[in-house]
Amino acid sequence: MAAKGKVTFSRDLCKGCGLCVSACPLKILEMDRETINEKGYNPAYCADPQKCIGCANCAMMCPDQVITVERF
């Protein structure tokens, strides 16, 4: 059975750089073009959380440490 993961974002701290989106091997992260956070940016989010494998590539790429990944 493949590993499962849960990715969460501190959306109000995200500066919308998109590095996490490009680092995701499953391409399940996207920029939320409908939302503007407290800093004035479009934050990243997980568009398909059920597919997350918990690889944490996104969290390793985030320069502001706004991503938390749990594996189970």
Q: Where are the domains of the chain?
A: 5-71
Contacts of 1 (CB under 8 A, 6+ apart): none
What pLDDT score does 66 carry?
Answer: 98
First CA to last CA distance, the chain: 11
The CATH code that applies to domain 5-71 is 3.30.70.20
The residue with tokens 């059975």 is 1
Reported as a pLDDT band with limits 50, 70 and 90, residue 3 is confident
pLDDT in tens, 20-70: 999 999 999 999 999 999 999 999 999 999 999 999 999 999 999 999 999
What pLDDT score does 5 carry?
Answer: 97
Give the predicted TM-score (pTM) of the model.
Answer: 0.93
